[in-house]
Amino acid sequence: MGYPIVHGRMSSKFKRYNLENHAFFVTSKIKGNQPYLLDHHLAELFIETLYVCRKRYGFLLLSFVVMPEHFHALIIPQKGYTISGVMQKIKSLFVKKMREELNWEGNFWQKSFYDFVVYTDKKLIEKINYILQNPVRRGLVQKVEDYPFSTANKRFENDIERFFGAHQQDWWATQSPINKTDKDEEREEG
């Protein structure tokens, strides 16, 4: 399936595209790039918020990672919701919970977010791998599955199977960096 390449930007000068039934790779940063999400309680609170919003607003969550000063996610909004609306709900509910639980005052997130419309299965796999490998690239862990705040961790559900369909589960198993062995990686490199 081929779609035009469309990029969203953090600047309000650029148009944000809200296409139905498309995956959006999103990134949102903490104001001032502060590493507040190093705090495990805050990271867990954000993930809890993400799943509450997933249930409440019905979006598909294919993958996510919570890094110290930002998060990445692959989200497919359901009919009637835009990616802008979904992101606004996630970010505002998280801040509301922080205010209630931690007496947080002031802004937490940068004003906008970055989004990229994923237009092919190949690009989708590339973005999932980017998300899952982020903590490894940053030196936070050596293996993706060791990072506690991403869908690489088995305790978190994702909607890969719902999106691709049950018959695609075997295909996904060969694409995921979680399921690759050292021998698979050596074959790919060699």
pLDDT tens column, 7-35 = 443 444 455 566 666 899 999 999 999 99
- Distance CA(86)–CA(63), nearest Å, equals 15
Question: Facing residues of 70 across strands?
Answer: 29
> How does residue 185 score in pLDDT terms, banded at 50, 70 and 90?
very low
Q: Does 186 have pLDDT greater than 50?
A: no
Name the CATH superfamily, with its identifier, for domain 23-189. Transposase IS200-like (3.30.70.1290)
**Residues contacting 169, CB < 8 A, separation 6+:** 160, 161
Q: How confident is the model at residue 169 (pLDDT cuts 50, 70, 90)?
A: low
Starting from the edge strand earliest in sequence, which strands make up the sheet with 70-76, in order? Answer: 60-66, 70-76, 23-29, 114-118
CA nearest to 30, candidates 98, 124, 76: 98
- What distances in angstroms separate CA 190 from CA 130, 177, 185, one per listed residue? 21, 17, 8
Helix axes 40-57, 83-102, angle to 10 degrees: 130
Average pLDDT in the 119-129 region? Answer: 91
User: Residue 24 has which token pair?
Assistant: 């959006």
Per-residue model confidence as pLDDT tens digits over 32-69: 999 999 999 999 999 999 999 999 999 999 999 999 99
Q: What is the pLDDT of residue 164?
A: 78
**What are residue 175's phi and psi, to 5 degrees?**
-95, -25
What are the pLDDT digits (tens) for 130-168? 999 999 999 999 999 999 999 999 899 999 888 877 545
Cα(116)–Cα(75) distance, integer angstroms: 11
More confident residue, 5 or 176: 176
Evaluate whether 69 touches 40 at the Cβ level (below 8 Å).
Answer: no
SS3 101: helix
